[in-house]
Amino acid sequence: LNNGEESMYCASADWMPRNFFRRVEVAFPILDPELRQRIREEAFDLYLQDNILSWQLSADGSYQRNRCAEGEQPLSAQDTLMQRLGEDGTSMRQLSASPTLH
């Protein structure tokens, strides 16, 4: 919270030296409260449940890969989001379509 106000930014999660020195990284604020809620529910919460492709940062700075516990249903956040967007990618194309410039 920022002086009692929630702030949320979206940016690349791939913060590696090669990206800082050879690319332009952009972070931008999410100003709409409804959109922040949607991102929190549809993305953040899902990624925190990922037990296939996620890693956990330890206090010593090392990373351990999260593993699916015995009896636990495997969950890949990336696969789940792609399924939500549609198997054929139609929804993804609609999201990425840009208006024609005149």
- In this prediction the pTM is 0.62
Q: Which residue has the higher pLDDT, 9 or 86?
A: 9
Tell me the DSSP string of 19-40.
HHHHS----EE---HHHHHHHI
d(CA 73, CA 75): 6
Identity of residue 73: Q
What are the pLDDT digits (tens) for 31-80? 999 999 999 988 889 999 999 988 999 999 999 998 888 999 999 999 99
